[in-house]
């Protein structure tokens, strides 16, 4: 029997994929349901569509923290 699941395909580089998977694991550890349905390959994830906007905001915050800016002299 085939089961269908509504989701969103996310394409990202491997580093961002690892951040998303880490966020998914932390979500599960806190007792909330996981949002990553399936890791398809090194650059693609299939995720719950309800978490896409929240995931986008969280990734923006994390990536902004880790961005190096060279200040003008």
Among 16, 15, 11, residue whose Cα is nearest residue 47: 11
Contact between residue 57 and residue 65 where contact means Cβ atoms under 8 Å apart: no
Euclidean distance between CA atoms 17 and 27, whole angstroms: 15
Per-residue pLDDT tens, the chain, 73 aa: give them.
888 889 999 999 999 999 999 999 999 999 999 999 999 999 999 999 999 999 999 999 999 887 777 775 5
Euclidean distance between CA atoms 1 and 11, whole angstroms: 28
Q: So what's the pLDDT on residue 73? A: 54
Q: So what's the pLDDT on residue 67? A: 78
Entry pTM: 0.83
């Amino acid at each position: 029997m085939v089961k269908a699941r509504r989701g969103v395909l996310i394409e990202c580089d491997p580093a961002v994929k690892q951040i998303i998977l880490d966020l998914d694991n932390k979500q599960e550890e806190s007792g909330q349901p996981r949002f990553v349905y399936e890791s398809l390959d090194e650059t693609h994830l299939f995720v719950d569509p309800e978490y896409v906007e929240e995931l986008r905001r969280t990734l923006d915050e994390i990536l902004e923290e880790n961005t190096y800016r060279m200040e003008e002299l």
